[in-house]
Amino acid sequence: MQGTHALGKIRISEPDSSNETAIFLSLWEQAQDRQLSRHPYWLKLLHFYSIGESVGQWSFKSDIVSSSFFLSPEGKTDPAEELKSTLKALLRPVNDNPDLHARCKFIARFEWLRSQLDFPELTELTCPLFERWANLKEATGISIVFVSSFLKNPASTFGHLLIKFNSSNRHFGHSLLRPTLNFGAIVNPDDNPFTYALRGIFGGYDGRFTDERFYNFNHVYGENELRDLWEYPLHFSTEQQHRITFHAWELLQNVQFKYYFFLDNCAYRMAELLEMAWTDSTRINTSGALWAIPVDVVFKLKKISSDSNQLPLLGNPRLIPSRQRKLQTRAAQLSELEHVHLKKLIKSENYIDSKDFRNLTERSQAQIIDVLLDYQQYKKTIAPDLKQSPERSKLLRVRSKLPIIENEFSFENTKSPSEGTPPMRFRLGTVFNDLLGPALETGVWANYHDLLGEESGHLLNAEVVTLDLHMQFRDDSFELTQFQIFNIQKYALNPTGISGDFDWSWRTRAGWERENLGCSPCRKFFISGGMGGAISLAGKDVEHAFVELYGETDKESRSAISLGYAPHLGVNWSPMEMWKIRLESGWFQSLQGPKKAYHHTRFDQRMTISQNWDIRLEVQQLEYMEGIVALHFYW
């Protein structure tokens, strides 16, 4: 791709009807000789997969469900027929609307085929819509944006990915105005949560790419959902950037895929689009994978080297802080005395006219009012129906008379997701059981992060673990001792010290576990959920209390179900960054079904060895005592 080709100017001869067939036959013969219909890049452009490479693939076909994406009626299942129809479409005369011509709608196909085949002499054809959208002349690169987890929406539990097209354009060059690509499910707003979950898991929704200016996503995720965003520049060559841009344009023509929460989701499709940078079989996604999560894409990109220089493909991240993080950072800059005045001002906004407040320095007054204004906006974000306080205008008038303060918020010490532990984990441990004796334990979890783990780059004071499997081996036998389907917890603190900055902590989990630690094959199915509160007394600790409702039944299918409640008390403490301690005890009391009452106490420690390794000591009491020393590898 050179000259005007890389700038969206497409030139090709316009054959008349007498020689159009001859030109097509020549190009088709070249394509057959070079086996282009089976070329890895052609299959990438059509999103073709073999059996087992993608969800629902039981034959060799495309993942795309939109018939408009294919120029041949057999294009979804036959890449050769699609190639033949594409060549014919590229040679057709241009009508009054060039944007509808195949060379403009399928620009990635045309650019690649032109590099592989001997097309005739070129003449100019412009694509106004594409050129205005892509603006390749002023393009400066591509970034991938990781949006942190959002535990209030199952589809966002593991985060989200966006692709951002950067530009030096004087109108749209600002970061907030740059075109940004999103992939998501096309959901029915009337679906209830149960229907939403089932359709999302089993492919009941279609998904598609959309693009908006970045400020829309920053508003939705950073301002409304209070999620941090991390922007990573990608060190692609100019040709690679263009290939991604060309195919992004093709996918924005209302092209739809089947959407699955666990695999064919934003992580999978964004990685698939970035794979268009390479014309060979290079993949970011793993063929045959059972799930795809956004942070895993970031780690995979981190392992890839740039083709254009010696730099890694993934550049240094930039944090785009959420409204909540900015509020917490601004509040942390207040002195203890300023916090006292802030609390009085929150309690009564008339306090702004008091002599005590007026006696503060102008800088202190300005800092306190700034935090209060941020806090009011934050409260309005989490409670959208909250009416604007009439005193806010008064606050703004007072603030306008005070000096401007340059707020230099530093987030350099905030570690990014790519600096934390990868999402998958394997464990190997030695077991000491006071009744059953020693054993060897192995285990694996699908993702993501637990409360005892290294929190760098992860959601603080939160746990999201799925498909956590543990097995113990003794002599010539082994037993499955735990299989957690999910375990999600969120400890909500009040780091600002403002009385109204409060949220409930909560947790939920489900899976199979042992009835007691003296019987490996004695398993039960357990599901629970509860609410509670959490505080931090010294900064590096979290004390928590929960009351859960639970249900359990043993492995016999006819066994009765026990329903009850379980209060829990615990503490997490991190004496240093590499060392963390967790202690928790719970009392389980059944209210319905077989009468049960028992204690379960855990004491765990984690020592970090490196980003991908840690070692843990786990001791728990459930009728019997058991201790485990386990080595964990994350990948």
User: What is the per-residue burial (b if ≥16 Cβ within 10 Å, else e) of 485-500?
Assistant: ebbbbbbbbbbbebee
Burial of 437 (0-12, 13-18, 19+ CB in 10 A): exposed
At residue 17, does pLDDT exceed 70? Answer: no
Q: 6 pLDDT exceeds 60? A: no
DSSP 418: G
Give domain status of residue 412, yes or no. Answer: no
The predicted model gives 238-260 an average pLDDT of 95
For the stretch 174-201, pLDDT in tens is: 889 899 999 999 998 888 888 888 888 8
Q: Are residues 167 and 305 in the same domain?
A: yes
Q: What share of the chain is helix, strand, coil (3-state, %, to 5)?
A: 30, 35, 35
Torsion of CA 37, 43, 45, 49, to 10 degrees: 150
Instruction: Tell whether 366 and 260 lie within a shared domain.
Output: no
In a domain, 192, yes or no: yes
User: What pLDDT score was predicted for residue 415?
Assistant: 85
Q: Does residue 164 surpass a pLDDT of 90?
A: yes
What pTM does this model have? 0.88
**Do residues 240 and 359 both lie within one domain?**
no
CB contact set of 33 (below 8 Å; sequence gap of 6+): none
In terms of Cβ atoms closer than 10 Å to its own Cβ (0-12, 13-18, 19+), residue 386 is exposed
For residue 301, what are its two tokens? 């990109």
* Whether 139 contacts 240, CB under 8 Å: no
Give the CATH number of the domain where residue 528 resides: 2.40.160.40
Residues 396 and 521 in one domain: no
Residue among 499, 535, 528 at smallest CA distance from 511? 528
- pLDDT confidence of residue 3: 33
Nearest to 513 by CA among 465, 471, 559: 471
What is the reported pLDDT for 7?
Answer: 40
Q: Per residue, what are the HEC states of 541-606?
A: EEEEEEEEEEEEEECCCCCCCEEEEEEEEEEEEEEECCEEEEEEEEEEEEEECCCCEEEEEEEEEE
- As a whole number, mean pLDDT of residues 606-616 equals 95
Q: Are residues 313 and 343 in the same domain?
A: no
**Of 101-110, 301-310, 482-491, where does mean pLDDT reach its minimum?**
301-310
Q: Which of 295, 320, 345 is the last residue of a domain?
A: 320
Instruction: Please give the average per-residue pLDDT across 26-30, as a whole number.
Output: 93
Whether 81 is in a domain gets the answer: yes
Helix pair 362-382, 323-332: axis angle to 10 deg: 150
Q: Of residues 414 and 604, which shows the higher confidence score?
A: 604
Q: Which of 281, 298, 320 is where one domain is finished?
A: 320
More confident residue, 24 or 5: 24
Based on the domain organization, do 292 and 430 belong to the same domain?
A: no
- Band (546; pLDDT cuts 50, 70, 90): very high
Same domain, 539 and 521: yes
Whether the CB-CB separation of 544 and 532 falls below 8 Å is answered with yes
Do 176 and 92 lie in one domain? The reply is: no
pLDDT of residue 412: 66
In a domain, 326, yes or no: no
> Domain containing 359: what range?
334-400
Q: What pLDDT score was predicted for residue 539?
A: 81
Domain boundary among 133, 151, 182: 133
Instruction: Identify whether residues 194 and 94 lie together within a single domain.
Output: no
Residue 209, pLDDT above cutoff 70:
yes
Q: Sorting pLDDT into bands at 50, 70 and 90, what band is 5?
A: very low
pLDDT at 214 over 60: yes
Asked if residue 406 belongs to a domain, the reply is no
Within a domain: 411: no
415, part of any domain: no
Instruction: Provide mean pLDDT across the span 520-537.
Output: 92
Same structural domain, 493 and 578: yes
Q: Are 235 and 315 in contact (CB under 8 A)?
A: yes
Looking at residue 119, its pLDDT comes to: 87
Which pLDDT score, from 0 to 100, does residue 627 have?
A: 96
Among the residue ranges 31-40, 154-163, 247-256, 545-554, the one predicted with the least confidence is 154-163
pLDDT at 16: 56
Nearest one of 137, 322, 138, 147 to 232, comparing CA atoms: 147
Cβ atoms 599, 586 nearer than 8 A: yes
d(CA 586, CA 497): 29
Residues 73 and 144 in one domain: no
Query: What residues contact 306, with CB distance under 8 A and at least 6 apart?
Result: 235, 236, 237, 312, 313
Q: Contact at 8 Å (CB) between 550 and 528?
A: yes
In this prediction, residue 226 has a pLDDT band, given cuts at 50, 70 and 90, of confident
What does the pLDDT look like over 424-470, one tens digit per residue? Answer: 999 999 999 989 999 999 999 887 788 898 888 788 889 999 999 99
Rounded distance between C-alpha atoms, residue 186 and residue 197, angstroms: 13
pLDDT of residue 390: 63
Our count of domains for the chain comes to: 4
Of 49-58, 125-134, 419-428, 535-544, the least confident: 49-58
H helix or E strand, kind and range, residue 245: helix 238-251
384 pLDDT band, cuts 50/70/90, is: low
Helix (H, G, I), strand (E, B) or coil at 261: coil
Residue 11 pLDDT level (bands cut at 50, 70, 90) = very low
Q: Measuring CA to CA, how many Å separate 175 from each of 172, 215, 234, 411, 631?
A: 8, 8, 15, 18, 43
Does residue 327 sit within a domain? no
More confident residue, 347 or 581: 581
Question: What is residue 496's predicted lDDT score, i.e. its pLDDT?
Answer: 78
Rounded to the nearest integer, the mean pLDDT of the chain is 88
Same domain, yes or no: 444 and 472: yes
**Mean per-residue pLDDT, 8-33:** 71
| Pick from 7-16, 26-35, 159-168: least confident | 7-16
For residue range 386-397, list pLDDT tens digits in order. 555 667 788 888
